[in-house]
Amino acid sequence: MNMTLNRLPSITWYWLKMNNGFMEGVDPAGGAEIKDQIPAGVEKSVLSMADLPEQQTGMGKDMTTLVTESKPQVQVYTADRDKEVSDPVVLNFDYQAGKRAVNAVFLKAQRGAAVTVVEDFASGQDAEGFAAVQTRYLVETGATLKIIQIQRLGSGYTFLNDIGGRVEDQGRIEMIHLVLDGGHTYLGVQSDLAGYQASLKADIGYRVKGEGTLDINYFANHTGKKTTCDIDAKGVLRDQAKKVFRGTIDLKKGSSGSVGNEKEDVLMMDDTVRNQTLPVILCTEEDVVGNHGATIGRLDENTLFYLESRGMEKEAVYEMMADARVASVVHLIDSQTVRENVENYLAQNLDRNLSE
Amino acid sequence: MAEKTYVEDIDRSMYDFRYDEKDAYRIEEGLDPSIVEQISREKNDPEWMHDFRMKSLEIYNHTKMPDWGPSIEGLDMAHIATYVRPNTRMANDWDAVPEEIKDTFERLGIPQAERKSLAGVGAQYDSELVYHNVQDFAEKLGVVYSDIESALRGPYADMIKDHFMKLVPPTDHKFAALHGAVWSGGSFVYVPKGVHLEIPLQSYFRLNAKGAGQFEHTLIIVEDDAYLHFIEGCSAPKYNVANLHAGCVELFVGKNSTLRYSTIENWSKNMYNLNTKRALVQEGGKIEWVSGSFGSHVSYLYPMSVLAGRGASSEFTGVTFAGHGQNLDTGCKVVHNAPDTTSVVNTRSISKSGGISTFRSAVVINPQAKNSKSSTSCQSLMLDSESRSDTIPAMDVKTQQADVGHEAKIGRISDDAVFYLMSRGLPEDDARALIVSGFADNVGKELPLEYAVEMNNLIRLEMKGTNG
């Protein structure tokens, strides 16, 4: 099938070629193995796609069609009511070189629960392949769900990472997306802030290099009163990398008292990279505030000069600054084990890049 | 209990008057080759222009309607008369202009403005210029300001041919193609090298005919080291059928020259305003757009700056006020095509009484535009929950050696600001009125005083409220 992916909720001029991503000839596939660690207070079950509640996702209908036609067993993880789960649920997606995989996950934080779920998408360093994951979630009244996604796929991997969920009264969804490695990545997220005081906090850290591409569509859909969202993307582009970020805050009629913020900070490290940013605010409610900001540019010349004057090679400065940019998002991870795991990965990457 | 602050719609009474199309020549409604042929004959086109029109019509017929902006379903070209010629020839003396037409422009204040503060004036009524005059001192400087049809046949014919729809080709979009096919009227301005015209020129476009289209073409060429301020105004009476404005503005700014292009657009609320404006700026040159969008039922308006020479720059300052029945999709485009280019975008939009205001922009930094800088700021004010306000800014950066910034904010009138002003002694009504007026002042302060006053009169933000 041909897939239109990550379509902007409110499109703009076609000549910019920023309204959506597109993939040709994508066929359904079986699921990859998911190795999971499930702490006490979380139940695991399995459902079919038809059993899931209706939910739009960031990547759009074609992705849902792909997942549905792949007929995966949806892995369901449910945090018990009023239970604060201290250890994270860890889902390790083990992608093999040369394989294709389509998976589906449903995360449910029942009323008053608090739980963290880590989705770790990994393959061999230079592996090629295709992987698609649709993660849906439901955050019930007063619950908190934290999703940490770590992507460290091979440079030949195409990865479709699709998320969609709903947050009810005083519920909170927090997401950290770390795009550390991979070939062509599509990340689509839709969060329906439907309940009173529902909130979303999203932090995206990416580093795209080589001939890699990253296509993001982030959609905060405010329908509940006094809802809030904070979307913060930070990234680095190197070599011939290309990235498009579409961030939409939709303050719908009835979402009075809501506040939406989004910002993106992009560091362009080489002259052959390309960055496209489209931060959108849609507003049909008076009593709201929407803010967005974007800064796109190169490394500050004074910083570069200072570090070079202290004896560092220019390339080392670049690598260090790229690492620091992503590390600032990694530091937001609460779980020490998970954080250290990612920091070690980054340190190894830094060493390798500096020695190349 | 506090009454909700109410902001009045723009008072259009001074623009909403009309005269019958007495003795006017009106082409039949619709669009087909015979109509375009007829317009070409009426205009006595040179052969190349006749061929250009026919080719444009072909492109129009094969180009899709835009589907990314406001709906234009209410616009039926089968019911639009693309050419309406008033029963007069162009004059350079107001006394030679027919009484009703002269009265129209007098009520709009054009002759008075010419006497007071302009170096030249062009006045278009429906499809044709009815008055054109340039002051002696400007003529002595070598400034050419004429209707474009005369220029097509005069000493500047080759220049027109070399520039006409080269910046906005008919292939650009469906309504650029339509313009290429049926254009009529508009102005040609030529400012020679080194000439600084300190006093502005103005063209005023009035569409009086019901169910008609206006397709004027404005072509301005400012040679190197020169300066020009050009003011454009437009208005129409309101009818219960759709009218169409699909003008085209092409601006060529030479090396180290500056062109300021100011527009106060106040079409009636049955108007589809699908206008295209574009500037090409050479080395060290600057284009300054000042744009106030207050009228029309639907607007698609995004002046574009192509920064083609090293150190070229653009500034876009705009305000859009969308009230009941209006869907105004406005903004700008900037393409950085050369090193050391800079662009600044600063806009405000206000939505009320069900009005829809969309800020749409594109900043493209191409690979060769090393050391370029761009900054965009857009702010929107929502005055009620029946309205809509969107911002859709796109940035496409293709070189590392560029700095691009963007910020946007949507919100309502700040309670803190109202409180502060009230603590300084202002009644709440006045405090709110002051805030809303100040919000739109980014454009007002860029206009000559007379026009800033006109704009403020136009907005007429009347506030009403009581303290609880």
Give the tens place of pLDDT for each residue, A31-52: 999 999 999 999 999 999 999 9
A290 chain-B contacts, CB cut-off 8 A: 408-411
Instruction: Report pLDDT for B2.
Output: 41
Encode pLDDT of B336-378 as tens digits.
999 999 999 999 999 988 999 999 999 999 999 999 999 999 9
On whether both B203 and B337 belong to a single domain, the answer is yes
pLDDT beyond 80 at B418 = yes
Cβ pair A269:B399 closer than 8 A: no
Q: Is B90 helix (H, G, I), strand (E, B) or coil?
A: coil
Position B22 scores a pLDDT of 63
Judged by DSSP in three states, B315 sits in strand
- Hey, are the CB atoms on B380 and A280 less than 8 Å from each other? no
| Residue B358, in any domain of the structure | yes
Residues in chain A: 356
How far apart, in whole angstroms, are the C-alpha atoms of residue B70 and residue A62? 26
Burial (CB count within 10 angstroms: exposed 0-12, middle 13-18, buried 19+), residue B198? exposed
Same domain, B215 and B312: yes
Integer Cα distance of B157 and B244 in angstroms: 28
| pLDDT score at B27 | 81
* Cβ atoms of A191 and A162 closer than 8 Å: no
DSSP structure class, residue B212: B
A164-177 residue pLDDT tens: 999 999 999 999 99
Residue B87 has pLDDT above 80, yes or no: no
Domain assignment present for B384: yes
Residue B176 DSSP code:
H
Q: Please name the residue that has the structure tokens 């220029």.
A: B151
- B7 belongs to a structural domain: no
A283/B388 CB distance under 8 A: yes
3-state SS assignment for residue A188: strand
What domain count does chain B have? 2
The residue of B396, B401, B432, B436 whose CB has the most chain A CBs within 10 angstroms, and thus the best one to mutate to test that interface, is: B396
| Measured distance CA(B394)–CA(B403) in Å, rounded | 15
Q: Which of B412, B431, B449 lies at the terminal end of a domain, its last residue?
A: B412
As a whole number, the mean pLDDT across chain B is 86
Domain around B398: 15-412
Residue B63 is assigned to a structural domain of this protein: yes
Q: What number is the average pLDDT over the span A307-328?
A: 89
Clarify whether residues B331 and B428 are in a common domain: no
Burial of A142 (0-12, 13-18, 19+ CB in 10 A): buried
How far does B388 lie from chain A, in Å, by closest CA?
A: 5
Shared domain for B380 and B390, answered yes or no, is yes
B388 touches chain A (CB under 8 A): yes
Residue A154: C-alpha distances to residues A104, A209, A239, B243 (Å) = 21, 12, 16, 58
Q: End of a domain among B412, B427, B449?
A: B412
Same domain (yes/no): B447, B356: no
Kindly state the percentage of chain A with pLDDT values over 90.
Answer: 88
Both B401 and B417 in one domain: the answer is no
Q: How does residue B449 score in pLDDT terms, banded at 50, 70 and 90?
A: low
- The rounded distance, in Å, linking the Cα atoms of B41 and B27 is 12
Among B395, B398, B412, B414, the strongest candidate for a mutation testing the A interface, having the largest count of A CBs within 10 A, is: B395
> Within a domain: residue B90?
yes
Among candidate residues A101, A114, A105, A158, the one with its CA nearest the CA of residue A135: A105
**In terms of domains, do B454 and B387 share one?**
no
Q: Kindly list the distances between the CA atom of residue B351 and the CA atoms of A342, B402, B429, B441, in Å, as whole numbers in the listed order.
A: 47, 34, 19, 16
B280 in the same domain as B207: yes
In a domain, B429, yes or no: yes
**Of B412, B439, B458, which closes a domain?**
B412
Considering the domain architecture, whether residues B361 and B455 belong to the same structural domain is answered as: no
Of A271, A284, A289, the CB nearest to B400: A271
Report which DSSP code applies to B79.
G
- Most B CBs within 10 Å, among A12, A264, A272, to test the B interface: A12
Q: What's the ipTM? A: 0.95
Longest dimension (CA), chain A: 62
* Same-domain status, B306 and B275: yes
The residue assigned the tokens 């900043």 is B363
Examine the pLDDT at B109 and tell me if it is beyond 60: yes
Highest mean pLDDT among A229-233, B321-325, B407-411: A229-233
What confidence tier does B9 reach under pLDDT thresholds 50, 70, 90?
low
Mention every residue, 6+ apart, whose C-beta is less than 8 A from residue B28.
B35, B81
Residue B4 maps to a domain: no
Residues B211 and B228 in one domain: yes
Q: Is residue B419 in a domain?
A: yes
Asked whether residue B149 falls in the same domain as residue B297, the answer is: yes
Q: Which residues of A are less than 8 Å from B383 in CB distance?
A: 286
Residue A337 has pLDDT above 90, yes or no: yes
Size of the A and B interface in Cβ pairs below 8 Å: 131
